[in-house]
Structure 1
């Protein structure tokens, strides 16, 4: 036996079994399918999440698109009530009593006693007129009156004598009747002559030119020696001009729109450029109660006390009235109005929809107007509405005083 074989006999041969495979090598057969399944699940989840996110995004976009399609409008609430109307109108101040003084008799100016600016009382002597012709006529009239009285006395005696003669049948009844008739004529002649004397005495009294009321002389147009003729405003020469200024009248033409508020007793503030910052109180005393057809205004009179004679007749003044407004009216900014062919309208929001309400203006204050019908203080009025705004449009509301939200 070869040596090698002997060696093999000395050492028994041990049969070695194959080494066992490690555990990981045994599990590696399942890793692939598990990983693949996991990937499929992950892919499915990713796809699901992606589809869901896309759907959510689409819904969000749709909501945002729908929200963007609804216009947002700013709304305001009408202010309840309306301020009193401040109406300022021009006027001319006039004296409460204003008269021109004329002569009532013919003659020459003998003397004048007052000049412009003089304060006079009723009955004060202003001037004297020399009337020689009237004096002569008066003397003649008095002489004629004396003759008539003498004739009357004779007629009385004659009538009495005739009555006695008729009773003794010496005179006829006709003679007595003639005497009685002559007595009546004599009495009438006396009355006529007496009236002539009284008329001339009155004419002679007009030699004294007297003040008809308390006031101030504003004009004197005559001088001593001037020929004076009896007359009036149409004929004749004005001697003096007299005004009473303790009270002054102001005539104001009020537009027809405000005529219903013009009632006696309404207080007025009177201002003049020559007295800046000063206000004089007046009272509306009467109106013309008729609208002038040419100017469509109502003439009213405002009386102003002037005891200190600070105000002068003829002055240009400003008269301010405060006219109360209706308690049911509201006030809106002028830019909230819509002018359509249907008339004046206001856009309000009700249940998130636009409603166009007809409105009627009471007074226009410039930047704001008074609405007397159609609106309530609780209404949400769209501020500065677009001309294209239509009724029924869905809108989003934002209060005007709220700050704009940033996105």
Structure 2
């Protein structure tokens, strides 16, 4: 009896591990199938205009350096920095004493040569009549003809001298060639200036020129006449609209970018040359696009992917990208509007992982992409 009891006890000891192992195996399997907490948001279809983002600097439409055209001493300066200039307005004058006298001398010289020419003409008329009647020699006729030719040349020379003297006298007064504004006054009364010395720098602030760069990959989308949206920190929240006026013919070798110039109307004189500007260059008309938050994307070299949620399971999805719209990215291939994508927590996911999803609480109406959508409905 004791032997039988001992045998049964030994048998139970052998069976216990066999019975316990499946139970522990099941528990281990349950532990491995963990649930990942993630934040999700639906992919949206939005009607947007494709654009390229860049930055640039506002410059005057034209900058004119008004320099002295003759040597002289500055007699007066009629403008200061910021003065609004009309076309033909007097900017500055030089001492004209010397040039007035030179013009007077040139005028007197012209009168003298004209009087000499008149006398020579009268003499030539008499000798010509006498020569026809053979009352004077050929030499006498030729002498008076030569003096007449020289007298005419002297008159031409004197007239030219008077024109030059008057031009120099006129250049003592500096006039604005166009409507503009004074950027810088570079001389003061009493300064001696030489021909070519800058005296006043003028700028045309309306319209302003905006130069910015576009990456090499986007140059095929650029053309003259496209709309440009400009914002500056000085007027937060305000948009200034312009159009592309020049597309430069070659790329910058160092940056591999193309320079583009746009004209920005500035009729109210609110914008100032030199302001840093944020640029949106619109490259097309409104179109329907599928967009997701940029936080949803995972990058692995050239491969771009995201996770979509089907039921309570994560599915990996390779996608192709379009343009970036603020905090949103256009998906051109691999995703449909309405599908639920993971926007936070996807770094811990793998294909087929179980998830506990929580919807994003982000206020989408304040996002740049949504704002752009409102403005261009």
Q: Does the pair score TM above 0.5?
A: yes
**Structure 2 residue aligned with 1:279, among 227, 233, 239?**
239
Of the candidates 83, 88, 105, which is equivalent to residue 118 of structure 1?
83
Are the structure 2 counterparts of residues 137 and 333 from structure 1 closer, same or farther at C-alpha, using a change threshold of 3 Å? closer
Counterpart Cα distance in 1 of 2:326 and 2:293: 9
Task: Tell me the residue number matched to 2:204.
Answer: 244
Equivalent position of 1:405 in the other structure: none
Q: How does 1:30-179 map to 2 (within 5 A)?
A: 84-179=49-144
Structure 2: distance between partners of 1:364 and 1:116: 43
Matching residue of 1:194: 159
When the two chains are superposed, the root-mean-square deviation of aligned CA atoms in Å is: 4.3
For 2:166 and 2:219, the matched residues in 1 are separated by 53
Deviation at 1:369, TM superposition (A): 6.4
State the match for 2:265 in structure 1: 305
Q: d(CA) in 2 for partners of 1:123 and 1:135? A: 22
User: Using a 3 Å threshold, how does the CA distance of structure 1 residues 207 and 346 change in structure 2: closer, same or farther?
Assistant: closer
Q: Could you tell me how far apart the structure 2 residues matched to 1:118 and 1:305 are?
A: 20
Gaps of 5+ in 2: 1-42, 307-317, 358-377
What's the CA shift for 1:197?
Answer: 0.7
What is the total number of aligned residue pairs between the two structures?
Answer: 307
Post-superposition offset of 1:205: 0.8
Partner of 1:59: none
Counterpart in the other structure of 1:48:
none
**Contact 1:107/1:132 (8 A) holds in 2:** no
Alpha carbons of structure 1 residues 159 and 316: separation in structure 2 relative to 1, 3 Å: same
Under a length normalisation based on structure 1, what TM-score does the superposition of the two structures give? 0.61
CA contact (8 A) 2:77 2:92 kept: yes
1:269-311 CA-partner distances (Å, limit 9, x unpaired): 1111121111111221222232233322222111111111111
Residue 322, structure 1, aligned to residue 322, structure 2:
no
1:193 to partner: Cα distance: 1.3
Give distance in 2, aligned partners of 1:88 and 1:329: 18
Q: Distance in 1 between matches of 2:285 and 2:182?
A: 45
Q: 1:203 aligns with which of 147, 154, 168?
A: 168
Match among 249, 253, 256 for residue 293 of structure 1: 253
| Corresponding residue of 2:24 | none
Decide which structure has the larger Cα Rg and report it.
1
Judge which range, 296-305 or 138-147, deviates more.
Answer: 138-147
CA shift in 2, pair 1:146/1:241, >3 Å: same
Residues in 2 aligned to 1:333 and 1:279: alpha-carbon distance in whole angstroms: 24
- After superposition, residues 206-221 of structure 1 pair within 5 angstroms as 206-221=171-186
Match of 1:43 in 2: none
Change (3 A) 1:375 1:159: farther
* Distance in 2, Cα, partners of 1:375 & 1:148: 93
Checking the alignment, whether the CA contact within 8 Å between 2:242 and 2:262 is kept in structure 1 is yes
Gaps of 5+ in 1: 1-77, 348-357, 390-395, 402-407
Deviation at 1:312, TM superposition (A): 1.0
Q: State how far apart, in whole Å, the 2-side matches of 1:114 and 1:366 are.
A: 46
Shift, 1:263, TM fit: 1.6
1:339, CA displacement in angstroms?
7.0
- Which secondary structure state, in structure 2, belongs to the residue aligned with residue 274 of structure 1? helix
Q: Contact 1:330 / 1:375 at 8 angstroms: preserved in 2?
A: no
Equivalent position of 1:3 in the other structure: none
Distance across 1 between alignment mates of 2:103 and 2:153? 19
Alpha-carbon distance between aligned partners in 2 of 1:127 and 1:121, rounded to the nearest angstrom:
14
- Could you say if the C-alpha distance between residues 128 and 315 of structure 1 is closer, same or farther in structure 2, counting changes exceeding 3 Å? same
